[in-house]
Amino acid sequence: MPIPNGFRKKEELNNKETKYELACYFCEKCGLVQLTVVVNPEIMFKDYVYIPSTSKVMMNNFSSLVHEAFIEKGLGEKSMVIDIGSNDGSLLTFFKTYDCKVLGIDPAENIAKLAELNGVPTETVLFDSSSAKKIKKKYGQADVITATNVIAHIDNLYEMFKGVDVLLKKDGIFITEFPYLADLVDKLEFDTIYHEHLSYFSLKAWKYMVEKCGFEICGLRRLQIHGGSIRFIHRRKSSKRNPAKKTIEYFLNFEEQKKLNKKETYDLFSQKVASLKNELTELINSLKKDGNRIIGYGAAAKGNVLTNFLNIGKDKLDFIVDSTPYKQGLFTPGMNIPVYAENRLQKEVPDYVLILAWNFANEIMEKQESYRARGGRFIIPLPEVKII
Ligand code: JHZ
């Protein structure tokens, strides 16, 4: 597979594209699922196209995280909040409404500029213990450190925790969220497996890691975002009673029952993905045979995995619409499908829209209610192929 956010300009289309292995290992000891190959992060993240702020659902999720931090820690003008993988500064903007001092850390130079424009100071570096030390010198330590949808991007998690240890005040909290392995497996979310995501965590694997690094989970909850995620609150390990003890036990038991820590679960997963692939391929082929026009919605990284895996090219999808200005005018990696602004859907009224950003299917269908009212149909690819 090419890297999933490796969109290309028209003049680059004849250049050879680098492809990298995309496969997972499963650790029978700690339950971690991880990629076999690590692509250099500089290649993937320096000039980045993904921003979270195009989705209302994402913004609501950020708002709920900040509220949770407020309840856990209390926030005010004396609080310092640091966000790892701060992207366009959206999450920190919500912390600013509580008058907190904020700092973003993100290696994407193009997107950090956007954050600065949003009033969020940003250090453009990859996060590790040595960048953490420099940041501590310049800005001091944080009461709250956040890291949403970025932990899976980091290869050396021990280094990451060392960095958090450097930057976090003694009684500070570290909040993170990422897609939950139980949802990935349950809902056949194979397309969220790609080079940016090096690890896929169960609670069991995450807890093992957290405790090895001198921290403990003191809060957790499941979220609907991104097809099912999990949010953790951590503090340094202490002898104080852990308020999350019961919830942790409950989830460990849930994972046991789901056989999330057994290899057979992943064999079955791969078989189910293969049949989903057949079903969706057959549907698209038969719709095309009947002369239908199909377009894609959401040039998501996961969409690029899906189209490459199913070999869905321009002969099947005329184009993809996407709300991200940085993606519009470019072509998708591997399949070279053009990406346009969302209003192109209303102009061209295709027969079917394949929702590649299926995690935002409801938000997208609500937004495009008038297309539906004109007889337009949406295809949702997973967990089972559905036409709406
Ligand atoms: P979306 C990204 O994955 C990359 P992707 C990253 N590695 C990660 O971890 C996950 O997020 C969490 C568009 N859209 O968020 C915007 C519309 O066009 O599922 C996005 O391009 N109209 C950081 O790329 C895409 O869909 C809309 O109304 O798989 C969604 O991408 C909405 C709501 C979205 O992430």
Q: What is the DSSP string of 45-84?
A: HSS----GGG-HHHHHHHHHHHHHHHHHH---TT-EEEEE
Q: Which two tokens stand for residue 305?
A: 């995995």
pLDDT score of 18: 96
Pocket test for ligand 1, best of 53, 178, 323 (most atoms within 8 A of CB): 323
Q: Cα of 359 to ligand 1 centre, how many Å? A: 8
Q: What residue's CA is closest to ligand 1, atom 27?
A: 364
Residue keyed to tokens 């002369």: 291
Chain centroid to CA 136: how far?
Answer: 27
- For 242, half-sphere exposure in the C-beta direction (CA atoms, 13 angstrom radius) is 19
Angle between helices 157-167 and 129-139 (to 10 degrees): 10
Tell me the C-alpha distance between 197 and 150, whole Å: 8
Quick check: bond before 383 cis, omega within 30?
A: yes
Tell me the C-alpha distance between 21 and 3, whole Å: 10
pLDDT score of 120: 97
Whether the pTM exceeds 0.85: the reply is yes
Spell out the per-residue pLDDT of the chain, length 388, in tens: 999 999 999 999 999 999 999 999 999 998 999 999 999 998 998 888 888 888 999 999 999 999 999 999 999 999 999 999 999 999 999 999 999 999 999 999 999 999 999 999 999 999 999 999 999 999 999 999 999 999 999 999 999 999 999 999 999 999 999 999 999 999 999 999 999 999 999 999 999 999 999 999 999 999 999 999 999 999 999 888 999 999 999 999 999 999 999 999 999 999 999 999 999 999 999 999 999 999 999 999 999 999 999 999 999 999 999 999 999 999 999 999 999 999 999 999 999 999 999 999 999 999 999 999 999 999 999 999 999 9
50 lines ligand 1 (CB under 6 A): yes
pLDDT score of 46: 81
pLDDT score of 54: 86
360 lines ligand 1 (CB under 6 A): yes
pLDDT score of 147: 98
Q: What residue's CA is closest to ligand 1, atom 14?
A: 298
Q: Cα of 301 to ligand 1 centre, how many Å? A: 7
> Phi/psi at 241 (nearest 5 deg)?
-60, 135
Pocket test for ligand 1, best of 305, 360, 368 (most atoms within 8 A of CB): 360
Q: Is 320 exposed, middle or buried (0-12, 13-18, 19+ CB in 10 A)?
A: buried
Taking the CA of residue 85 as reference, the ligand 1 atom at the shortest distance is: 23
